[in-house]
Structure formats: C-alpha cells, structure tokens
C-alpha cells in the first residue's frame, strides 16, 4: 500500500524582498542536500493531462509528476485569480534528458570561458544544472519538482520579471523588481505555498514537494521521493513533440 506523502503545515515562507541570498547556493548547498536520506514511499507518477486538465502544459513538457504533487498543482490552479491558468514548463525529466541538458550547458560554458579551470567550470555548471548524482538526484528526475508560470485570462504570460535578462531576475525575492512583478510573484508564492509546495529561492519558477530540496526547506529528516523511472506504458502515451527537449526553453527556464 502506498503511503501518502506527509504534509508539513507551516506559516508562509514569504521572505522580505530586501533579503540578500548567497547566490552561490541560495541556502541549498549540495553538502546539505546529500546529507538528507531518501526514503522513497513508492508513490506513482500520474499523467498531468488526466490529473490536472485545467493546467496548461508547455511544449516539450514531460507531463508526469508524483500523485501528491499533481493534487497540489490542482490546488494551485484553483487558487489563481479568475481566468488565469497555471502553465507548467517542466515536470518530470528522465535521467537521459537531464544528462543532455547538463552536457549542453557545460559545453556552452566551456566555450564562453576557456580561462576557467575544471573546478571553476563544474562550480558554475552546478549553479545552473543539478549534478547527476543518485545520492542527491536532480529534482526533476524524482517527479517532485515543476517549473511554472501563469497565463493571464487572455492567454498572455503574466509578467514576473519585467526584464529581458531572464537569469538576472531569476532569484525569487529580488529587491529590484517593479511593483507589478513583485505583486505577481507574491500571488504565485501564496498559491504555491498554500498548496504545500516549496520554492528554490534562486529560481522563482522552481517548486517542489517531497525531494531533498523540499526536505531541507521544511526541516523534514528525510525526503520521500527519489529518482523515478518512466514506465514503458507511460512513455508510449507521449506525442513525439513531447519527447524532445526544446533548447530555448531549457536555456531560459528549465536548467535546474
């Protein structure tokens, strides 16, 4: 019998937008994540096309998350302003997809910074893409994490950045945001956290429940989701375009 993933009721973790976070790890260094044991409860993946019919799935999104996480996604959708839609850019990633993304990012950084040592290169790649470790699996390979945005009632993307420089505005609690972008982030934060999801504060769009990052944020002694394999029966349901990785999407919003 599958045990439901435990919830940790807690006050809203709405930080001040004047807080300065260490941009090297945003409070989640690998050493702390690795120290959290994973006790996978065996909860299955569900198809978001069936489980979350009111949510918009971006092109290239592999539409699978753990069952409890999908239920939380529905709670988020219900909490959004009338007419708005939660847009999921990334759900599950296979180990192969994560490997390809990391390889591409590493090659790009090596080309842009030939002066970096091997150690410096790996440090900087780690800030952009989770390392490939079974002891601390990348969040998206666990079915626990998703990258999100919101669509306005007219279908246009809600503005969370107010900037063309996507990565410069990635930290969730960025003190330089204009009022409208800050208010939009606060709305999203409240909806996501009220549902039980937690945010990696280095990326406003990245949320999770049950992985090691979530455990670190809420003080859980263990994570309840480890790396998961997409079963053949599930993968056969995927349209061909959803099996591909969109390089522009990865470069902009899906590189954790």
Q: What is Dmax (Cα atoms) for the chain?
A: 54
Structural domain boundaries of the chain?
A: 30-253
Strand partners, 147: 90, 206
- pLDDT score of 136 more than 50: yes
pTM of the complete model: 0.82
Contact 73, 124 (CB under 8 A): no
Q: What is the rounded average pLDDT of the residues 248-256?
A: 41
**CATH class, 30-253 region:** alpha beta
Q: What is the rounded average pLDDT of the residues 37-49?
A: 97
Q: E strands within the chain? A: 45-47, 56-57, 64-66, 85-90, 145-151, 198-199, 206-208
pLDDT of residue 8: 47
Contact 192, 125 (CB under 8 A): no
Strand partners, 199: 207
Taken in order 4, 6, 11, 14, is the CA torsion positive or negative?
negative
pLDDT of residue 174: 86
CA distance 162 to 179: 10
Contact 255, 129 (CB under 8 A): yes
> pLDDT tens digits for 52-102?
999 999 999 999 999 999 999 999 999 999 999 999 999 999 999 989 988
Q: Percent of the chain beyond pLDDT 70?
A: 80
More confident site: 194 or 163: 194
SS3 label, residue 57: strand
Side-chain half-sphere CA neighbours of 170 within 13 A: 19
Q: Percent of the chain beyond pLDDT 90?
A: 61
CA distance 169 to 247: 20
Output phi, psi for 206, to 5 deg.
Answer: -100, 120
**Dihedral angle computed from the Cα positions of residues 156, 157, 162 and 166, in that order, rounded to the nearest 10 degrees:** -130
C-alpha distances in Å from residue 140, one per residue of 13, 33, 237: 22, 15, 19
- In the DSSP assignment, the letter for residue 48 is H
- pLDDT score of 103 more than 50: yes
- 33-47, 85-99, 108-122, 239-253: the lowest-pLDDT one: 239-253
C-alpha angle 53-57-58 in degrees, rounded to nearest 5: 165
């Amino acid at each position: 019998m599958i045990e439901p993933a435990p919830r940790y009721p807690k006050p809203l973790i709405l930080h001040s937008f004047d807080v300065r976070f260490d941009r090297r790890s945003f409070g989640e260094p690998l050493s702390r994540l690795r120290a959290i044991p994973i006790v996978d409860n065996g909860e299955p993946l569900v198809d978001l096309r069936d489980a979350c019919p009111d949510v918009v799935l971006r092109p290239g999104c592999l539409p699978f998350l753990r069952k409890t996480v999908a239920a939380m996604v529905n709670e988020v959708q219900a909490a959004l302003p009338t007419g708005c839609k939660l847009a999921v850019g990334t759900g599950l990633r296979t180990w192969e997809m994560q490997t390809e993304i990391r390889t591409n990012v590493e090659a790009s950084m090596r080309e842009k910074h030939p002066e970096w040592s091997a150690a410096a290169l790996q440090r900087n790649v780690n800030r952009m893409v989770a390392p490939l470790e079974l002891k601390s699996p990348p969040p998206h390979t666990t079915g626990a994490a998703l990258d999100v945005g919101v669509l306005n009632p007219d279908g246009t993307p809600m503005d969370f950045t107010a900037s063309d420089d996507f990565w410069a505005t990635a930290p969730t609690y960025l003190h330089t945001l204009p009022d409208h972008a800050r208010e939009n982030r606060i709305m999203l934060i409240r909806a996501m956290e009220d549902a039980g999801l937690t945010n990696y504060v280095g990326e406003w769009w990245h949320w999770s429940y049950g992985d090691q990052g979530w455990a670190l944020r809420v003080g859980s002694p263990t994570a309840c989701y480890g790396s998961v394999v997409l079963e053949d029966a599930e993968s056969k349901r995927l349209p061909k375009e959803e099996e591909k990785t969109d390089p522009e999407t990865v470069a902009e919003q899906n590189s954790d």
